[in-house]
Amino acid sequence: MTGDLPFAHVAIIGLGLLGGSVGLGVSAHLPGVRLTGYDADPATRARAAERGLVDEVFPSAAEAVAEADLVILCVPVGAMASAAGEIAAALKPGALVSDVGSSKQSVAKALATALPDQAVIPAHPVAGTERSGPDAGFATLFQHRWCIITPPEGADPELIARLTAFWEALGARVEIMDAAHHDLVLAITSHLPHLIAYTIVGTASDLETVTRGEVIKYSAGGFRDFTRIAASDPVMWRDVFLSNKDAVLDMLQRFSEDLSALQRAIRWGDGDALFDLFTRTRAVRRSIIEEGQDDARPDFGRSDHEAAG
Ligand SMILES: NC(=O)C1=CN([C@@H]2O[C@H](COP(=O)(O)OP(=O)(O)OC[C@H]3O[C@@H](n4cnc5c(N)ncnc54)[C@H](O)[C@@H]3O)[C@@H](O)[C@H]2O)C=CC1
Ligand SMILES: O=C(O)C(=O)Cc1ccc(O)cc1
């Protein structure tokens, strides 16, 4: 620790929704930390500087990380390897490299390969929205949300503790997990729901018998919720599905079997089967609310900025 700060200088690579939220969260909760940043997109760099997402935006990743104690890669999962490659030669010897990627095994492998001599501890704040880019971030994104840290075997406990303190300072609750288990859990709780949302919105927009105007006009709550999720960033989600392929295909297989069972229940008029499932799923929703993880609460993890947009 440096004084009571877990890290004195934090560099953020990728200044979109996650990178911007980390920057704003650090400014709000860890004043005194020096914040530098870089994004591959010049327009994003300019906007990040205007919004003050970090103290200083640099024209190269190497310059942004040169003096950092903690570097957080906030780029799409498929860009982690090249982002790590760009900083490898510029890092301070004792610097910790982490990330926020939505899948963990492939990122861990990419970072370990690109940064063989560096301390690397991957992480995933399970918090986000369907928005992306330098205008999407907000300081409260991580409040009361889980951040899953997936330390590789042999990781320094002191660095794990400092990374934990960092995320807790931003308002998150931290859980330590094995990367393979993370990928399995997130496949069912996050990745498959996004795949289903992309599918249902795609199916609705391809119908010949129902016009797109009707879909928009009569979209009741359920469909509207799916359209929010299906508006999520295409690059980010392409990379998530390609990087967590095995776990997603596994969960998709289970889901398809369960969907077939429901199809059969509807065909044969098996109301008991439908009623039993819907009763069980209602209980899951109630448990989530009791856990305090209900997004519907107006003050929950959302800024005015986001609620308005
Ligand atoms: N969107 C969400 O709700 C969540 C996303 N994540 C993860 O966070 C990461 C970032 O996602 P978002 O912030 O949502 O995306 P975003 O699209 O808002 O921001 C990503 C930024 O990375 C930049 N970038 C791409 N390649 C780069 C490179 N090689 N070097 C430097 N900058 C580069 C892009 O220009 C873009 O500004 C992804 O790995 C994603 O899986 C994690 C939790 C939630
Ligand atoms: O907007 C939503 O509903 C999300 O599910 C946000 C989200 C997206 C990706 C993650 O890895 C974590 C959270």
Q: How confident is the model at residue 295 (pLDDT cuts 50, 70, 90)?
A: low
Q: 132 CB under 6 A from ligand 1? A: yes
Ligand that comes closest to the CA of residue 85 = 1
Ligand 2 pocket test, pick from 232, 235, 243 with the greatest ligand atom count within 8 Å of Cβ, gives 232
Helices (H) and strands (E) in the chain, counts: 14, 9
Ligand 2 atom closest to the Cα of residue 193 is 5
Query: Based on the domain organization, do 40 and 53 belong to the same domain?
Result: yes
Instruction: Count structural domains, the chain.
Output: 2
Q: Check which CATH number belongs to the domain holding 247 and give it.
A: 1.10.3660.10
Tell the burial category of 257 from Cβ atoms under 10 Å away from its Cβ (0-12, 13-18, 19+): exposed
Structural domain boundaries enclosing 299: 181-307
Percent over 90 (pLDDT), the chain = 85
Structure tokens at 131: 């928005």
Query: Based on the domain organization, do 217 and 249 belong to the same domain?
Result: yes
3: in domain:
no
Structure tokens at 159: 């660095």
Domain boundary, last residue among 177, 212, 235: 177
Structure tokens at 142: 């991580």
Query: Based on the domain organization, do 168 and 195 belong to the same domain?
Result: no
Query: Based on the domain organization, do 24 and 164 belong to the same domain?
Result: yes
What is the Å distance from ligand 2's center to 269 Cα? 36
Domain boundary, last residue among 177, 206, 229: 177
Instruction: Note the pLDDT of residue 298.
Output: 38
Query: Based on the domain organization, do 162 and 187 belong to the same domain?
Result: no
User: What is this structure's pTM?
Assistant: 0.94
Within 10 angstroms of residue 28's Cβ, the number of other Cβ atoms is 14
Let me know: does 37 contact 64? Beta carbons within 8 Å.
yes
Residue 202 to residue 219: CA distance in whole angstroms: 14
Tens-digit pLDDT profile for residues 250-259: 999 999 999 9
Query: Based on the domain organization, do 193 and 156 belong to the same domain?
Result: no
Tens-digit pLDDT profile for residues 52-84: 999 999 999 999 999 999 999 999 999 999 999
Tell the burial category of 27 from Cβ atoms under 10 Å away from its Cβ (0-12, 13-18, 19+): middle
Q: 125 CB under 6 A from ligand 1? A: yes
What is the Å distance from ligand 1's center to 234 Cα? 11
Ligand 2 atom closest to the Cα of residue 194 is 5
| Residue-averaged pLDDT of the chain | 93
- Integer angstrom CA distances of residue 6 from 73, 96, 160, 165: 18, 11, 11, 6
The complex scores an ipTM of: 0.99
Let me know: does 120 contact 152? Beta carbons within 8 Å.
yes
